[in-house]
Structure 1
């Protein structure tokens, strides 16, 4: 990056929890783009396979807002690393225990995957996430019911995804205000020699070149 990221604008006033989807028995909202006129996008990193200390330094030095959707079977052996990321400002959210295709499970199976990871994350980090990403972005009515039972208020998918050298868009050829970007904690073995930090730097250049900056997803949901 040739210059630091611009600071995001002041986030909107947050609604009271009681009025949010998922509260008092309602179903979670499904969101792939946050309704906003701000020129901001949101970075979300899934799974937890790669534990590169250089990425921790990057998040700290850039004050980079990152939401981590962690899968226990992948991230569990390295929760200490994700604790260090949380200590420098990253947030922890839910991506199931075992990363299954949720529509192929019963309601009880889906609830076990989601609530079980809520319990794991509470034990490890002392928090119960309010955001959930279904593996592969796939869900059904049982997913929404199970997520609500587990305390989830928003089911988060995406509008763009991080590639090794660029971004892939769900539609069009560029970012739009409020887009949620999917990335994964992957390392050189999966990225043809590219590190997570290098790939993230390229992504941030694409974001900057389109006139956007990065905001914290939890400030908008």
Structure 2
């Protein structure tokens, strides 16, 4: 899925004689379709009590010579991570699932006694609700489950509202299935901008996790399993590797050899949050919302 168009905000500098400001500020707000235009004015102002010589502070600047002006609020953001900080750590991360190969991958991780990080979609290769039991088991087993949006769009081509919606749909599904909301995010295609970071901050995310080693298993012409296995042998400690649980070759041919090789080097295969020193307890990776829901007619993707 691709988003088109950009969110364009136009700011106007309006010169208004004070004698025409007959309506109170709160009344004016009710006539606006977009209340965020007036977000800097969160408090009531008495225009007559603010003189031109008085020092102005904050997000709003009000003068009594008929000039009303304000600046755009400063954008919020979240940290961006590309590699582990914990010594000897290695984080295997898998995007785009769940899929038909996910159960086999979880079996490999369990057999190795290692933890992975799964950045999942809601409705991409498959529907998240069809894999509810698998996600519950991942959660119980201590793997990190992060957001990768609902439908895998290019977020840099999406509007503010669409970005919020892509995150909210996936969050709502995880709340239904697991009772928790994710706190870590990976953007599809690794594409993000200031608007994406702002929305993540507004929704309470703790970090955007990228990678510093790419298996290239989802390229238009993906590497073969021998090349991918050899690539893993060159990945140093403190790496965050990118691969995809939707790729049969990755799950069936590469990981059964790569995981033992990484462990033989003494690497600790832990979640991305743990390798970033963001906590080893899964309770630190999510916001608890409610008890998991019982499956009903809302558990569907279309």
Place the TM-score, normalised by the shorter chain, in its bin.
0.7 to 0.9
CA RMSD for the aligned pairs?
2.4
Q: TM-score, normalised by structure 2?
A: 0.56
Distance 1:148 1:124 in 2: 24
In structure 2, relative to structure 1, the CA distance for the partners of 1:28 and 1:213 (3 Å cut) is same
Partners of 1:158 and 1:180 within 8 A in 2 = yes
Q: Which has the higher contact order (CA 8 A, sep 6+)?
A: 1
1:42 to 85, 91, 94: 91
Residue number in structure 1 paired with 2:105? 55
Partners of 2:229 and 2:257 within 8 A in 1 = no
Q: How many residues align?
A: 188
Residue number in structure 1 paired with 2:175? 122
Task: Please state how far the C-alpha of 1:98 moved relative to its aligned partner.
Answer: 0.4
Q: Secondary structure at the match of 1:128?
A: strand
Partners of 1:41 and 1:214 within 8 A in 2 = yes
Distance 1:148 1:57 in 2: 34
Q: Secondary structure at the match of 1:139?
A: coil
The answer for unaligned runs of 5 or more in structure 2 is 1-74, 218-224, 279-302
Residue number in structure 1 paired with 2:51? none
Distance 1:94 1:52 in 2: 16
Q: Secondary structure at the match of 2:238?
A: coil
Distance 2:109 2:212 in 1: 22
Which protein shows a greater Rg? Answer: 2
2:160 to 100, 104, 107: 107
Q: Which moved more, 1:196-205 or 1:67-76?
A: 196-205
Q: TM-score, normalised by structure 1?
A: 0.75
Distance 1:69 1:151 in 2: 17
Does 2:214 align with 1:214? no
Residue number in structure 2 paired with 1:156? 209
